[in-house]
């Protein structure tokens, strides 16, 4: 990964989300993915 113009070794997780566009708007799916990303990046034991 590039962090502050430097190449750094970091663990990376790829997350995929599929849903039926007839039932859920793409913006709602994007909001869910962004919220999940925020939770995973700021993980603490209090979440459990």
Query: What does DSSP assign to residue 6?
Result: E
Interatomic CA distance for residues 11 and 38, integer angstroms = 16
Computed over every residue of the chain, the mean pLDDT equals 83
| Residues 25-44, mean pLDDT to the nearest whole number | 86
Evaluate whether 17 touches 29 at the Cβ level (below 8 Å): yes
pTM above 0.75, yes or no: no
| Residues 13-35, mean pLDDT to the nearest whole number | 84
Whether the predicted pLDDT of 9 surpasses 80: yes
Q: Which helix (H) or strand (E) holds 41?
A: helix 26-41
Q: Which helix (H) or strand (E) holds 3?
A: strand 2-3
Q: Where in the chain are the domains? A: 12-47
pLDDT band at 47 (very low <50, low <70, confident <90, very high): low
């Amino acid at each position: 990964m590039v962090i502050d113009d430097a190449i750094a070794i970091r663990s990376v997780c790829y997350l995929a989300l599929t849903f039926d566009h007839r039932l859920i708007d793409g913006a709602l799916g994007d909001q869910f993915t962004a919220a999940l990303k925020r939770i995973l990046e700021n993980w603490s034991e209090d979440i459990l």
